[in-house]
Structure 1
């Protein structure tokens, strides 16, 4: 009982510590990436914190899976190094007696991983896409601000308005530069107004101004005077893009009968279900993998742990790609990897039960192994 309480306590502290370290690394990476996107004009600088939060939420299931695996390994490696496992074995208990308390500790985390993968992952991805798309499809009227040069979403137009009266829809001292098909058009006017059209379109109408049009470095510029010059600043409202498979809810993945997206939907659903199963397989593998000789170093177990996680995760992603491309049936791809992980965990545990026997004898029942 004392050992089980100590095991739960150490697993809790270690899982929390590893999780915090991984989250810190993840946030640092996201800050660099999202700030780079904001600097390039791909996302709104005001949405940086929201995008970082959503990206972190979307990867919490993966981070929690790694944290649980590493925590079980670290705790048991330390027990072997400090000879606490010798006390455990001397009490008449074997390595199989560790499975139940570790799984009891891991069960709530496995449920959380499943909920994160099934529900939080698609929601966070969808919100991130909507924020990015909203900024990319922003209209030019949202960019207009008095006394500031503002560039349009596609970097084809630059506005400058010295004074802006939104109540009267009037503008003063307007500068508009357009660049289309390599030709530059610059319009200036002292006054103008914002015009609303049917269908949600908006335009700025300039009064009594000048327009300069031509190709840079070429002597074909034209200077035109106009009484009224209209430039569109907002088209009709753009529709939200259809959600990708990683952004669809579980119900949408199941009910979508579009043959063009059916395989991708099944592959995405298989990946989400496979994530908690992978966490369970890694926990079972970590129990026998943590064995170390107290006289030797403990880095070998960590090396194998990293290798096993990379292989497991890549196999899961590879299977997902095969299912999405139609090269593998989802009912065939959903179980072999996790079954293989269970068989590896069983073989490793049996190897640790009686290390005095040859490796092939350890896989036999006890009665046959003795004979």
Structure 2
């Protein structure tokens, strides 16, 4: 029991450290992407932390299996390197018993991953969808940041305001530059620049919104040519476009698991298999990691790390590829994702029992040689 607690503690501590590092890396990349969208006026900066919080379960459900896999490799690799595993082997610790001890913390991790994949992750994505729907009702006016040039419409419009009131109803020192595109050729046909002393938002009965500019000028022409036309105006209306926010989210990912259980839709059934596959992934990677963690002290603990990561990436990539094939109906739903788990489980068991099998074969060969002699 003491050995079990020691191994479990080493494994869970290492897994937690690795998972934390992976989580910081992934969330930092995502946050930078969302921050860039907020800087362009596509997102309200106030919802960035909410979006990251709701996306956290979706990140963790993929990070924890990898964290457990690397945790076993690093924790047990250290024990082999420092000859602690040699001492345990002398007291009867076999690879099979080590696997049994490892499956206990793996069951804990699988329970957490199952809770995330079946419950929290879909709820989080549904909340992100709700936030994005709210963002879709925003206009360029609602996402303006004073003192910053903001690019919209794929770079065809640049907006700037020097001042913005606290209730976001009044602007001061407005600049708008927009590239004109010919409807016939689809190519750029010139540039329009609007400057104004002040501006305000006006909502029409049909729901469209306009930015009403006051006391300013409009300049039309083509860059590099001296044929610009200048128009002075007292009041000028500019239609405010709605930002197009892209988060690469799928509608089925936001569906509760109970709705997927009774669905006959192929994509829904594939999503259900994917959610159940993630907890199962934890047990399979544990079977793979235990024999891969065995290293010779002279070789170093990182010798098998790269091949092990490549094996894990192959496993995950094959799962994703089969998931796409299931969506398109190329693989029978009865076969589903389960054969991928079975394949890598067989690989793990083969690596686990390869040494006893090899010794048995060698012993049998030696006995046959003696019998012949």
TM-score (norm 1): 0.75
Q: Is the 8 A contact 1:165 1:171 kept in 2?
A: no
2:157 matched residue in structure 1? 156
**Against the structure 1 CA distance between its residues 295 and 356, is the aligned structure 2 distance closer, same or farther, given a 3 Å change threshold?**
farther
CA distance in 1, matches of 2:75, 2:241: 60
CA distance in 2, matches of 1:360, 1:268: 49
**Against the structure 1 CA distance between its residues 351 and 222, is the aligned structure 2 distance closer, same or farther, given a 3 Å change threshold?**
closer
Instruction: Tell me whether 1:94 sits opposite 2:101 in the alignment.
Output: no
Q: Is the 8 A contact 2:260 2:269 kept in 1?
A: yes
Q: Is the 8 A contact 2:74 2:301 kept in 1?
A: no
1:366 matched residue in structure 2? none
Q: How does 1:313-324 map to 2 (within 5 A)?
A: 313-324=316-327
Q: How many residues align?
A: 354
Which runs of no fewer than 5 residues in structure 1 stay unpaired?
362-371
2:339 matched residue in structure 1? 336
CA distance in 2, matches of 1:275, 1:54: 19
1:6 matched residue in structure 2? 6
CA distance in 1, matches of 2:363, 2:317: 29
1:309 matched residue in structure 2? 312
Instruction: Tell me whether 1:202 sits opposite 2:205 in the alignment.
Output: no
Q: How does 1:347-366 map to 2 (within 5 A)?
A: 347-353=350-356, 356-358=359-361
Q: Is the 8 A contact 1:26 1:56 kept in 2?
A: no
- Residue-by-residue CA offset, 1:297-353 (whole Å, 9 max, x unaligned): 333332332122112111111111111222112221221111122222333333344
Which runs of no fewer than 5 residues in structure 2 stay unpaired?
182-188, 365-373
Q: Is the 8 A contact 1:156 1:180 kept in 2?
A: no
2:139 matched residue in structure 1? 139
- What is the CA RMSD across the aligned residues, in angstroms? 4.2
1:250 matched residue in structure 2? 257
TM-score (norm 2): 0.74
Q: Is the 8 A contact 1:95 1:352 kept in 2?
A: no
**Against the structure 1 CA distance between its residues 331 and 209, is the aligned structure 2 distance closer, same or farther, given a 3 Å change threshold?**
same
User: Following TM superposition, by how much is the alpha carbon of 1:276 offset from its aligned partner in structure 2, in angstroms?
Assistant: 1.4
User: Following TM superposition, by how much is the alpha carbon of 1:126 offset from its aligned partner in structure 2, in angstroms?
Assistant: 4.6
Deviates more, 1:285-294 or 1:59-68: 285-294
User: Following TM superposition, by how much is the alpha carbon of 1:65 offset from its aligned partner in structure 2, in angstroms?
Assistant: 0.5
CA distance in 1, matches of 2:345, 2:53: 35
CA distance in 2, matches of 1:350, 1:304: 19
Q: Secondary structure at the match of 2:331?
A: coil
**Against the structure 1 CA distance between its residues 149 and 53, is the aligned structure 2 distance closer, same or farther, given a 3 Å change threshold?**
closer
- Residue-by-residue CA offset, 1:140-189 (whole Å, 9 max, x unaligned): 332467x757657425364658786979x787887666544345455667
- Residue-by-residue CA offset, 1:74-121 (whole Å, 9 max, x unaligned): 333333333333443433453322333222222121011112223333
